[in-house]
Amino acid sequence: MKQDVIISQNLTEDLRQAIERCPHDQLFVLTDTTTLQFCWPVIRDYPYLQEAKMITIGATDENKTLQTLSSVWEALQQGGATRHSLLICLGGGMVTDLGGFAASTFKRGIQYINIPTTLLSMVDASVGGKTGINFGGLKNEIGVFNCASTVILCADFLRTLDSYNIRSGYAEMLKHGIISNTENWAELITFDLDNIDYTHLQQMVAKSVAIKERIVEEDPTEKGIRKALNLGHTAGHALESLALEENRTVLHGYAVAWGLVCELYLSAKRLGFPHDKLNQTLQFIKENYGVFTFNCKQYDKLYQFMTHDKKNQSGIINFTLMADIGDIRINQSADREEILEMLDFYRESMGC
């Protein structure tokens, strides 16, 4: 199912039309505690939202759990939702992932609309139909593919974000640039994240979403080329899981940025990815994302986390790697020795 992705210049009208395209008996709005405070006020006075029933969950990825999912199902049930109801997910990736999963499974599926409010959710989580929750200490372990009927991207919400959340989303844009073409990649690594030009950023967001949409349309359930979107994620998810386990939670995009350092090194070693482009990307990440520290005693743990990655087959760890900018190679396996060498490179080059 192809979803409508709207780069909004008029949020009131775009949301009204999106709701009209989904005939419904009841309307629900899902926020977390942060988006309730900062983003709901942007839309709460729209006339067509006055009868909407609110559902609010805890903020941050720690709440992306079965317990929270159950509380959303319960709120829908107690609010009298039927299979003809409509859910609007207003928030970052955690809200659109969990809300999309709740909508996809309640009464065997109700329609939902995503209004992503973070840069990360605009360019990644809200587009493409991946929904889910974390489970058993692993990221996005349970979920389904099911697209929102409409995704509305509105740059006004970006101004509510702090620098950390802008950078988190930007890492996914950087990934899109690497799998796209040299021009996109060069534009991204020269953008000034300390003095943001929001008009330019919105144009870059539109390009980034177009790259993801094109790939998702070609391969909606990740049987082939959609795996390109996993660049940086095999190592990144392992670092994110380690951070979660050690109670030093990091934003998803930061983990992806550090994962890109690891996987572009592997790309250079295995496929001849150009060293100058590796170094330029590494320098940009080092300057804008700092470093996640770990030592060689944690290599086993990181390796174990990678063995749980959903791209793996028959216990072999699979990566998406690059022979050059835009030259994607999916289903690239690496053995334990190469993975430990990759972790060595990360620690040496990042200075940890």
Q: What's the whole-model pTM score?
A: 0.85
CATH code of the domain occupying 4-160: 3.40.50.1970
Q: What angle do CA 160, 18, 197 make, to 5 degrees?
A: 30
Q: Where does the pLDDT of residue 95 fall: very low under 50, low under 70, confident under 90, or very high at 90 and above?
A: very high
Instruction: Report d(CA 325, CA 278) in Å as an integer.
Output: 10
SS (H, E, C) the chain: CCCEEEECCCHHHHHHHHHHCCCCCCEEEEEEHHHHHHCHHHHCCCHHHCCCEEEEECCCHHHCCHHHHHHHHHHHHHCCCCCCCEEEEEECHHHHHHHHHHHHHHHHCCEEEEEECCHHHHHHHCCCCECCEEECCEEEEECCECCCCEEEECHHHHHHCCHHHHHHHHHHHHHHHHHHCHHHHHHHHCCCCCCCCHHHHHHHHHHHHHHHHHHHHHCCCCCCHHHHHHCCHHHHHHHHHHHHHCCCCCCHHHHHHHHHHHHHHHHHHHHCCCHHHHHHHHHHHHHHHCCCCCCHHHHHHHHHHHHCCCCCECCECEEEEEEECCEEEEEEECCHHHHHHHHHHHHHHHCC
Q: What residue spans define the domains of the chain?
A: 4-160, 166-350
Burial of 301 (0-12, 13-18, 19+ CB in 10 A): middle
Both tokens of 316, joined, read 């072999």
pLDDT of residue 1: 54
pLDDT of residue 314: 66
pLDDT of residue 138: 86
Q: What angle do CA 314, 316, 320 make, to 5 degrees?
A: 120
Give long-range contacts, CB 8 A cutoff, 24+ apart: 348-352: 349/261, 349/265, 349/282, 349/286, 350/258, 350/261, 350/282, 350/286, 350/291, 351/286, 351/291, 352/291, 352/292, 352/293, 352/294
pLDDT of residue 30: 98
Average pLDDT, the chain: 94
pLDDT tens digits along 226-259 = 999 999 999 999 999 999 899 998 999 999 999 9
Average pLDDT over residues 288-309: 95
Residues annotated as catalytic are 108, 130, 172, 212, 222, 226, 230, 233, 237, 252
Dihedral over Cα of 262, 186, 251, 286: its sign: positive
Burial of 197 (0-12, 13-18, 19+ CB in 10 A): exposed
Please give the CATH superfamily to which domain 166-350 belongs.
Dehydroquinate synthase-like - alpha domain (1.20.1090.10)
Burial of 5 (0-12, 13-18, 19+ CB in 10 A): buried
pLDDT of residue 182: 97
pLDDT tens digits along 49-84 = 999 999 999 998 899 999 999 999 999 999 999 999
- Flag whether pLDDT at 315 surpasses 90: no
pLDDT of residue 287: 97
